[in-house]
Amino acid sequence: MNPIDSRLPQFRSLTPQQRLQHIVAAAGLNPDEAALLNNSGALDRQLADGMIENVIGTFELPLGVAGYFKLNGRDMLIPMAVEEPSVVAAASFMAKLVRECGGFETSSTPPLMRAQVQVLGLTDPHGARQTLLRRSREIIDLANQRDKVLIGLGGGCRDIEVHVLEDTRRGPMVVMHLIVDVRDAMGANTVNTMAESVSPLVEEITGGQVRLRILSNLADLRLSRARVALSPQVLTTAEYEGQDVIERILDAYEFAAVDPYRAATHNKGIMNGIDPVIVATGNDWRAVEAGAHAWACRKGHYGSLTRWEKDARGWLVGSLEMPMPVGLVGGATKTHPLSRIALKIMGVQTAQELGEAAVAVGLAQNLAALRALATEGIQRGHMALHARNIAIMSGATGSEIDRVARAMGQEKDVRVDRAHALLKDLRGHFSDE
């Protein structure tokens, strides 16, 4: 297959069917995969019944594709499953600007997850800690006896850490962490199994009682990173000089860096980009969300996940480094038919590549929001696209949706009652003809 071209000029003016044909050809999807994407009921009820409990049906979200992404010199199409308008457009727009300046640079740590084993009933927690550390080899070997597939793939338990929580209201606690390389899995089930299997040995070594044995969602050893640098030129708009846009974005970033009320919204904007990639690829978005917000608090206060600064040339430099516990196997990644296709569209071969793509989209999304907020405001771009939702809420169907949405956009008055009035006029107009 030829390297993919992620540029999608005029993609928005195609019909969904034509867009699908373009992606099928670009990603080299086979007719069965194309048919699944074409068929809104791709996840059949019987399969869904095998995935969760008490199934009555399936619940669908729109699946869009963001274009223009170039990561480490390679083009990548980004499938995004999301209900919010303007998210896919904003990601594509910023990827287009970033592309003109060389694209996204990404990297990641090895896929290390932590499982915690809580030990209670110890009067000498520090002594127990040292004993556990001294016998770490035995614990690691026992953990690695269970999952031969993972070991065969080069993963497995690598190390242990032991933390003493001295001042809890329930007395001291010793918490042992298993540090496990989970390769291309998200890894929760894998590390939970290991944590349970070593617990009898931990009790024997410490003389304490093991209670909780579960992974930590603060996946601080499994980080994905993305960096961009943008020239003032690409940030110049009809109303604002590029250098001015950069200063405005830096002011907006500083606000989020120091104020948790703003940081929560700023980070929501980042997750606007990340979550749709996590959902489209069948990954656990709650795990990614939990890790992201715990990481955002790591310095003692809740702050921005991204950083924005200016380099010696006066270019805007953005970076994002955060936990990214995602997999290509396990969970729903292999069972949901559309997840497999989403991964194929992206062309990622490892969980690390998927994590890097997700943070690149998060960084792009943050840039889009900051750029809009710091200049013209969010409503012009966002509401123009949200107008179609409002038109649908007012009862518009088919070609009426775009007509009502366009009229509200032109009037800069995007409200359901206005949509009702416009729809009434439109229908009256046609019934008069």
Ligand X SMILES: CC(C)(COP(=O)([O-])OP(=O)([O-])OC[C@H]1O[C@@H](n2cnc3c(N)ncnc32)[C@H](O)[C@@H]1OP(=O)([O-])[O-])[C@@H](O)C(=O)NCCC(=O)NCCSC(=O)C[C@@](C)(O)CC(=O)[O-]
Ligand Y SMILES: NC(=O)C1=CN([C@@H]2O[C@H](COP(=O)(O)OP(=O)(O)OC[C@H]3O[C@@H](n4cnc5c(N)ncnc54)[C@H](OP(=O)(O)O)[C@@H]3O)[C@@H](O)[C@H]2O)C=CC1
Q: Any catalytic annotation for residue 251?
A: no
Q: Which of ligand Y, ligand X, none does residue 182 bind to, with CB < 5 to 8 Å depending on kind?
A: ligand Y
Taking the C-alpha atoms of residue 427 and residue 429, their distance in angstroms, rounded to an integer, is: 5
Among the listed residues 179, 214, 378, 392, the single contact to ligand X using CB under 6 A = 378
Closest among 255, 286, 275, 226 to 370, alpha carbons compared: 255
Taking the C-alpha atoms of residue 71 and residue 227, their distance in angstroms, rounded to an integer, is: 10
Which residues in 45-84 contact ligand X (CB under 6 A)?
A: 67, 84
Q: Which of ligand Y, ligand X, none does residue 331 bind to, with CB < 5 to 8 Å depending on kind?
A: ligand Y
For the range 274-277, what are the long-range contacts, defined as Cβ-Cβ under 8 Å and sequence gap of 24 or more?
Answer: 274/358, 274/359, 274/361, 274/362, 274/365, 275/82, 276/64, 276/80, 276/81, 276/82, 276/87, 276/88, 276/361, 277/78, 277/79, 277/80, 277/354, 277/357, 277/358, 277/361
Q: Tell me the one-letter amino acid at 390.
A: I
Per CB under 6 A, does 8 bind ligand X? yes
The minimum distance between CB 92 and ligand X, in angstroms, equals 4
Per CB under 6 A, does 194 bind ligand Y? no
> What character string, x for contact with ligand Y (CB under 6 A) and - otherwise, covers 133-152?
--------------x-xx--
Nearer Cβ to ligand Y (71/219): 219
Q: Work out the angle between the directed axes of helices 87-100 and 351-374 (0-180°, nearest 10).
A: 100
Taking the C-alpha atoms of residue 173 and residue 185, their distance in angstroms, rounded to an integer, is: 30
Question: Cβ distance 295 to 323 under 8 Å?
Answer: yes
Q: Any catalytic annotation for residue 177?
A: no
Which residues in 195-254 contact ligand Y (CB under 6 A)?
A: 215, 217
The minimum distance between CB 328 and ligand Y, in angstroms, equals 7
According to DSSP, residue 2 is labeled P
Taking the C-alpha atoms of residue 386 and residue 379, their distance in angstroms, rounded to an integer, is: 9
Nearer Cβ to ligand Y (147/356): 147
Q: Any catalytic annotation for residue 400?
A: no
> What character string, x for contact with ligand Y (CB under 6 A) and - otherwise, covers 304-343?
-----------------------x-xxx------------
Per CB under 6 A, does 6 bind ligand X? no
The minimum distance between CB 74 and ligand X, in angstroms, equals 19
The minimum distance between CB 40 and ligand X, in angstroms, equals 20
Closest among 297, 138, 157 to 205, alpha carbons compared: 138
Closest among 75, 78, 39 to 276, alpha carbons compared: 78
Among the listed residues 6, 136, 144, 190, the single contact to ligand Y using CB under 6 A = 190
Q: Which of ligand Y, ligand X, none does residue 232 bind to, with CB < 5 to 8 Å depending on kind?
A: none
Per CB under 6 A, does 96 bind ligand X? yes
Q: Give 306: exposed, middle or buried? Use CB within 10 Å, 0-12, 13-18, 19+.
A: buried
Which secondary-structure segment (H or E) carries 294? Answer: helix 285-295
Q: Which of the stretches 75-83, 90-98, 167-175, 214-222 binds ligand X when contact is defined by CB under 6 A?
A: 90-98
Task: Out of 49, 84, 161, 196, pick the active-site residue.
Answer: 84
Question: Cβ distance 178 to 157 under 8 Å?
Answer: yes
The site that binds ligand Y (CB under 6 A) totals a number of residues, namely 23
Q: Which residues contact ligand X by CB under 6 A?
A: 8-9, 11-12, 67, 84, 86-87, 89-90, 92-93, 96, 265-266, 268-269, 272, 368-369, 372-373, 378, 381-382, 385
By the criterion CB under 6 A, which residues form the site for ligand Y?
147, 149-150, 153, 155, 182-190, 192, 215, 217, 284, 287, 327, 329-331
Residues annotated as catalytic (active site), given as ranges: 84, 268, 284, 382
